[in-house]
Amino acid sequence: MPNDPPRAAPDYEPTTLGFALLGLLRDRPQTGYEIRRIFAETPMGTYSSSPGTIYPALKRLQEAGLVTRVPKKADGTRQNLALTQAGHTCLLAWLQRPVAAGDVEKHYDELMLRFAFMNDEVNDATRLRFLRDLGKELKAWLNRLHDYLKSHGCELPLNGRLALGNGIAEVTARLHWARRAYEIIRKTSRRPADCSNASTRERCRKRTDAT
Partner DNA sequence: TCCGGCATGTAAGGTGTTACATGATTGC
Partner DNA sequence: GCAATCATGTAACACCTTACATGCCGGA
Q: Please report, to the nearest 10 degrees, the dihedral formed by the alpha carbons of residues 87, 93, 94, 97 taken in order.
A: 180
For residue 46, state whether it binds DNA (rule: CB under 7 A).
no
Question: What b-and-e string marks burial along 81-102, b requiring 16 or more CB atoms within 10 Å of the CB?
Answer: bebbebbbebbbebbeeebeee
Phi, psi of 142 (to 5 degrees): -60, -40
Residue from 106, 187, 190, 191 that binds a second copy (CB under 8 A)? 106
How many Cβ atoms are within 10 Å of 49's Cβ, its own excluded? 12
Residue from 8, 17, 90, 111 that binds DNA (CB under 7 A)? 17
For residue 12, state whether it binds a second copy (rule: CB under 8 A).
no
Alpha carbon distance 12, 61 (integer Å): 9
Region binding a second copy by CB under 8 A among candidate stretches 31-39, 53-61, 78-86, 105-113: 105-113
Task: Decide whether 19 or 130 has the Cβ nearer to DNA.
Answer: 19
**Cα 171 off chain centre by:** 18
Using CB under 7 A, count the residues that bind DNA.
26
Which 31-90 residues touch a second copy, going by CB under 8 A?
42-43, 45-46, 49
Alpha carbon distance 49, 47 (integer Å): 7
Residues that bind a second copy (CB under 8 A): 42-43, 45-46, 49, 105-106, 112-113, 115-119, 127, 144-145, 148-150, 152-154, 157-170, 172-174, 176-177, 181, 184-185, 188, 194-195, 200, 204, 207-208, 210-211
